[in-house]
Amino acid sequence: MPCSSSPRWSSRRSPEAVSEELYYSTISELSRLLGRRELSAVELMRAVIERTKKVDGRVGAFNSFDEADALAQARASDERRSKARGDGAAAPSRPLEGIPVGIKDVISVAGQPLTASSRMLARFVSPYDATVTLKLREAGATCWGRLNLDEFAMGSSTENSAFGVTSNPWDLERVPGGSSGGSAAAVAAGEAVAALGSDTGGSIRQPAALCNVVGLKPTYGRVSRYGLIAFASSLDQIGPFARSVGDAAWVLGAIAGHDRRDSTSVKAEVPDYHGGMAALADSGRKWRLGIPKEYFGEGLDSEVGAAVEAAIGEYRGLGCEVREVSLPHTRYAVAAYYIIATAECSSNLARYDGVRYGSRSGGATDALDIYFRSRAEGFGPEVKRRIILGTYVLSSGYYDAYYLRAQKVRTLIRRDFLEAFTQVDAILTPTSPTPAFRKGEKAADPLAMYLNDIYTIGVNLAGLPAISIPCGFTRGGLPIGLQLIGQPFRETELLAIAGAYEGHTDWRTRRPRL
C-alpha cells in the first residue's frame, strides 16, 4: 500500500534490534531502525537531548547545544526519508541519515558558536559551515552541539578549556583526555551517537582510549581542514569518535575527500570504507602486525602494558603474524612535535587580535595596546606558553637550529614508519601510556602532560592514519586503548584490522555508570 504523506512511526521496536537504550546504540543499529521506520530521527534526537540534559551537568561534554536547531534538522531528515519513500524509490543507502553527530567546538557550524573553548572567542558565532559540517549535512546527519576541548585544541585533558573541565564518564574525578575530551565523553556517555574531533598530536586517539570509545585520525590530507580552527596546520586532521569501528568507517566515508577550499586535502578517491572493511574481514586475510619496541619502555603503566600484551595475544590467536619493528627516531618525536606545532600555532593564532572579531579588551588605548590586552585577557596560560615557545623557535638566528632541524627529524620519523611498513600491514601500540588521570594531577606540570602523547605524536609527524580502540580496563575500572597505525590512505585496511579485534572482544559494549 502506498505510504501516507505524514509518516507514521512504529512506537514498538523489535527487541533484538537494540540491546540497550537508543542513545547507546551504534549508527549501524540506528540506521536499520530508521530505515525500517521503527524509529524517527526526531525520536532519536529527543532521546539524545534528554540523555544529555540528564547527564551533562556531571560530564560537562558540551559547551553549548541548540535543541531547537537539532530537532529541526531531525525533522528535515524524517521529511527526506518519507519523501524518498513517497516517490516510490528505495531509500538510498545513507547510514548517517538522522544520526546526531556531536561536533568539537573548533569546527565551524554556520550560525552556531565557535569558541575553541577560549575566552577569546566566547561570543563568536561562525557565519559559515566547515567542509566536514557540509558533508555531514549532505549525508543527512544532525549536527549536534558544541563539544568542549582544551583551549584551541592545546592539551591532553580538556582542563585547559576556558569554560570548565569535562569529566571522564567512567570516573567523574578524572579527565577524559584531550584535546577532544568533550567529543570522547559525549560518545561514551550517550550524549551523541558519534562525534567529530580533531587530532594534532593524539587529540582524538588519547581521549578515545581514556573514555572507551573508538577514535580515528585519518591520513593527513584525507579530510578537509576548511572550517577547522587551526592549531598546527601541518599536523591537524579531523576524524570521528564512534562506538564501533564500523561506525567510525561510516563517518569517515561521509567526511573524507578532496576539497578545493583546502590545498592540503588530497585528490584521492574515497573508497567505501564500511563495505571495504567487511570485504577484507570476509577474505580471511592474515594481517602482519608490527610491535615497535620503543613504545613499550619506561613510563608505560603496567596495567596498560598488560592489556596491550593481551590484545597482541588476541591477534596472534586470530592468526595474525606479529613481529617486532623498530622506530629508532621515536625518542625525538615529542621534541620535534613541540617545535613544529608551537611554531605553526604562534602564526595561526596571530589572527585573534581583537580587531575584527572576538574579544577586544575594553581598556586599550591604541592598536598595539588592543593586541597586548586582548591577547593577554583572551588566551589561557597553555596557549600563551605555546605561542611564546613557537615565536621563539621561529626567531631569526634560531630558525635553523630548531624549526629546520625539527623538520628534518620529522622526515626521519616518517621514514622509520615507512620502513616498518615494508614488513607489516599495521603497527600496534598502546594509545596512551596511562589510563585517565585525576583532574589537576598534571595540570601544573606541562612536561608530564606533553609526555602523555608520546605514542600518538609520531603518527601526526608522519601524516599517517591511526585508530584507538577499546582494549580493556584497569582493576580500578578505567578504560584502556589500543592504537593501530596504518599506511597512508589505507584506512580501509586499518579499519579491517581494528574490526577483527573488536569482533572478538566486548570492551566496546561496556558502559559507564552515570
Partner 1 sequence: MTHEAVIGLEVHVQIKTRSKMFSRVAAGYGHPENTLTDPVVLALPGTLPVMNKEALDKVIKAGLLLGCEIAPECKWDRKNYFYPDSPKNYQISQYDQPLCRGGFVEIELPGPARNVMGEHRKIPLTRIHLEEDVGKLTHAAGVSLVDFNRAGTPLMEIVSEPAIHSADEAFAYLTALKTVMIYGGISDCDMEKGQLRCDANISIRPAGASALGTKVELKNLNSFSFVRDGIALEVSRQLSVVKAGGTVAQETRDYDGQTGESKSLRSKEMAHDYRYFPDPDLMPVQVGEEWKSAIRAGCPELPFDKQRRFQKEYDVPYTITSVLVPDPELSDFFEEAARLCGRPQAAGNWIANDLLRELGSARIGLGQSRVRPAHVAGLVKLLEGGVILSTAAKEVFIDMFRSGELPEAVVARRGLKSETTLDELERWCGEAIAANPKSVADFKRGKDSAINAFKGPVMRAAKGRADPKRVDDILRRLLAR
Instruction: Tell me which amino acid residue 308 is.
Output: V
Element housing 43 (H / E): helix 41-59
Q: List the catalytic residues.
A: 104, 179, 203
Please report how close the Cβ of residue 232 comes to partner 1 at its closest, in angstroms.
8
CB of 391 to partner 1, least distance (A): 7
Coil/strand/helix, residue 438: strand
Which strands form 100-104's sheet, in the order they lie side by side?
62-64, 142-147, 100-104, 194-199, 237-242, 214-217, 466-473, 479-485, 426-430, 288-292, 321-325
Q: Is 225 in the site for partner 1 (CB under 8 A)?
A: yes
Is residue 195 within the footprint of partner 1 (CB under 8 A)?
Answer: no
- Residue of 25, 63, 108, 117 interacting with partner 1 (CB under 8 A): 108
Helices (H), 168-272: 181-188, 205-211, 245-255
Nearer to partner 1 (CB atom), residue 40 or residue 346: 346
Question: Secondary structure of the chain: what % helix, strand, coil (to 5)?
Answer: 45, 15, 45
CB of 263 to partner 1, least distance (A): 5
Residue type, 52: T
Find the binding residues for partner 1 in span 248-307 (CB under 8 A). 260-264
Separation CA 177–CA 481 (nearest Å)? 12
CB nearer to partner 1: pick between 106 and 280: 106
Nearer to partner 1, 130 or 147 (CB): 130
The least distance separating partner 1 from the CB of residue 293, rounded to whole angstroms, comes to 32
| Lookup: cell for 178 | 584531550
CA dihedral 9, 11, 14, 17 (to 10 degrees): 80
Q: Which one of residues 114, 139, 320, 436 is an interface residue with partner 1 (CB under 8 A)?
A: 114
Residue in 355, 388, 401, 418 binding partner 1, rule: CB under 8 A: 355
3-state secondary structure 311-360: HHHHHHHCCCEEEEECCHHHHHHHHHHHHHHHHHHHHHHHHCCCCCCCCC
Cβ nearer to partner 1, comparing 51 with 225: 225
Under rule CB under 8 A, residue 127 binds partner 1 = yes
Contact 203, 180 (CB under 8 A): yes
Nearer to partner 1, 85 or 258 (CB): 258
Q: Choose the binding region for partner 1 from 171-179, 183-191, 353-361, 451-459 (rule: CB under 8 A).
A: 353-361
Say how far apart CA 368 and CA 262 lie, in whole Å.
32
347 scored as a contact of partner 1 (CB under 8 A): yes
**Is-contact 164 196, C-beta < 8 A?**
no
Instruction: Pick from 32, 67, 128, 448 the residue near partner 1 by CB under 8 A.
Output: 128
Select the residue interacting with partner 1 from 54, 86, 172, 357 (CB under 8 A).
Answer: 357
DSSP strands (E only) in 4-61: none
Residue 413 Cβ, how far from partner 1 at the closest point, in Å? 17
- 448 sits in the region (left: phi over 0; alpha: psi -120 to 50; else beta) called alpha
Answer for which of 18, 42, 55, 116 binds partner 1 (CB under 8 A) is: 116
| Residue nearer to partner 1 on the CB measure, 11 or 263 | 263
Dihedral (Cα; 336, 460, 231, 392), 10-degree rounding = 10
471: helix, coil or strand?
Answer: strand
CB burial of residue 80 (10 Å; 0-12, 13-18, 19+): middle
In 95-236, the DSSP E strands lie at 100-104, 142-147, 194-199, 214-217
CB of 346 to partner 1, least distance (A): 8
* Residues in 172-191 at the binding interface with partner 1, rule: CB under 8 A: none
Site for partner 1 in 135-164 (CB under 8 A): none
Comparing CB distances to partner 1, the nearer of 120 and 291 is 120
In a 10 Å sphere around its CB, with 0-12 CB exposed, 13-18 middle and 19+ buried, how is residue 314 labelled?
Answer: middle
Q: Say which DSSP state 62 is in.
A: E
Kindly state the cell numbers that stand for 388: 611564546
Amino acid at 65: F
User: Is residue 70 near partner 1 by the rule CB under 8 A?
Assistant: no
Task: Give the residue with the Cβ less far from partner 1, 126 or 330.
Answer: 126
Q: How many residues bind partner 1 (CB under 8 A)?
A: 45
Per-residue interface string for the shown chain with partner 1, residues 227-246, x marking contact by CB under 8 A: xxxx-xxx------------
Q: Is 47 helix (H, G, I), strand (E, B) or coil?
A: helix
> Among candidates 101, 98, 189, 198, which has minimal Cα distance to 144?
101
Mark the segment that binds partner 1 (CB under 8 A) among 114-122, 268-276, 284-292, 376-384: 114-122
Q: How far is the CB of 469 from partner 1 (least distance, A)?
A: 29
Residue 486 Cβ vs partner 1, minimum distance, rounded to whole Å: 23
Judged by beta carbon, residue 394 or residue 412, the one nearer partner 1 is 394
Please give the residues from 375 up to 434 whose contact with partner 1 meets the rule CB under 8 A. Answer: 391, 394-396, 399, 403
Site string for partner 1, 423-462 (x = CB under 8 A): ----------------------------------------
Which of residues 214 and 336 has its CB atom nearest to partner 1 in the complex?
Answer: 336
Least Å distance between CB 211 and partner 1? 25
Q: How far apart are CA 94 and CA 500, in angstroms?
A: 24
Of the candidates 279, 367, 376, 418, which one interacts with partner 1 according to CB under 8 A? 367
Interacting residue ranges for partner 1, rule: CB under 8 A: 106-108, 114, 116, 121, 124, 126-128, 130, 225-230, 232-234, 260-264, 343-344, 346-347, 350-353, 355-357, 367-368, 371, 391, 394-396, 399, 403
